Structure 1
Amino acid sequence: MRPRTVLPAALAAALLALTGCGSNGSSDAAGDEGAVSPSTASSPAQPPAGSDGSGTGANGAKVPSALNFTATTVDGKPFDAKTLAGKPTVLWFWAPWCPKCKAQAAETANVAATYQGKANVVGVAGLDKNTAMKDFVADTGTGSFPHLSDENGEVWKRFKVTEQSRYVILDKNGTTVYEGVLPSGKGLADKVAGLTG
């Protein structure tokens, strides 16, 4: 067997082993678990080799390394994260079969609608096939904001996410200010309000 073909399966198995989705563990009990203070916050991995290095997003804002990546949406459209530069961004990491993710959907969609134009909300789907991801978006009514199909876990790895139903919140400069679980999305609106006010 070639290691290259085993990597996606191994990543999925590792993520599943670490996940708390569907368990009654106490890891979701604290709404601020995983909070990162601004003084200790750090950006994710450096931009991939071969990036165009333009340095500015669609709105003219400087593109931080955290947002220097491309992906494909669950609808098959190209997505360039540079377009998110200059505004706070919520990355919601979810899996189609996860009940905790489904419970977060309504609040996440509400935050996306409330802060449209002031903050970005992007779903990052993984741990399943694109067909299941599309069904999740339709079933949860979260189609008003983009969802990335991250079947190979590239965006998950970039942000060091090891379990679904997780939020990574970046400030307008691309610095991670929060990373953790928010049961049913509770507290997400307050966190975004603090970055847009």
Structure 2
Amino acid sequence: MLRYRLALPWVTALAVLAGCADDTTSPVVADAPPASAVGAATPGVTAAPPSGSPTAENVPPTLAFKAKTLNGTEFDGATLAGKPAVLWFWAPWCPTCAGQAKGVKATAEQLAGKVNVIGVGGLDDEAAMQRFVTEWKLDGMPHLSDQAGTVWKRFGVTAQSTFVLLDSTGVVVHKGVFSGEDLLGRAGKLT
């Protein structure tokens, strides 16, 4: 019990600093950020495959990264090329994120094969992230384990929950917050 009382001020401070976002509006990003703005030199995120590989010539700079999934496999951002994508940046202790989970799951299921939906968990350890995925039954879609925040930094995300919507060419068309229920309509417009 004492351990939890001592941890509560820290959790509260982290929530305030990290900003468990509840703003439902955000401007549309008209152009893709330049390669330097999307983390070309971000530690822990590696570049896309060398130019001799089959996917390298079609990979936009925004998708030229690799990260680890919660199940321990390597995820290559290049696999998102050619199809619209939704990146959902979440934290396991965020009540806004929990409230969006149902809408994110429905979007992933209803737009399967048309839009890639990827969760990017952060701001906690992998065990907490895995519990969140299990509790909200989100295991039908990939989730990146971004404890170091490298993917978050790559896309300029500073608060959870944030959605980054990319068109099929890798251009960021929206970055911000809205409800999980609104996600299906917004992501559907990308197809």
Range class of TM-score, shorter chain? 0.7 to 0.9
Counterpart pick for 1:35 among 23, 27, 38: 27
Identity fraction in percent: 45
Q: Which residue of 2 aligns with 1:98?
A: 94
Q: Which residue of 2 aligns with 1:165?
A: 161
CA 1:61 to 1:189, structure 2 compared with 1: closer, same or farther past 3 Å? farther
Partner SS for 2:157: coil
Cα deviation digits, residues 3-42 of structure 1 (max 9, x gap): xxxxxxxxxxx97544332xxxxx735x3x223153x453
CA drift at 1:53 = 3.7
Partner SS for 1:132: helix
Question: Pairwise CA RMSD of aligned residues?
Answer: 2.6
The question of 1:187 aligning with 2:186 is answered: no
In the alignment, structure 2 segments of 5+ residues that lack a partner are 1-12
For 2:115 and 2:52, how far apart are their aligned partners in 1?
20
Match runs of 1:97-136 below 5 Å = 97-136=93-132
Normalized against structure 2, the TM-score is what? 0.81
Question: Does the CA-based 8 Å contact 1:67-1:82 persist in structure 2?
Answer: yes
Partner SS for 1:174: coil
Number of residue pairs matched? 175
In the alignment, structure 1 segments of 5+ residues that lack a partner are 1-13, 22-26
Match runs of 1:1-197 below 5 Å = 16-21=15-20, 28-29=22-23, 31=24, 33-38=25-30, 40-42=31-33, 44-45=37-38, 47-48=40-41, 51=47, 52-54=49-51, 62-183=58-179, 185-196=180-191
Question: Does the CA-based 8 Å contact 1:16-1:163 persist in structure 2?
Answer: no
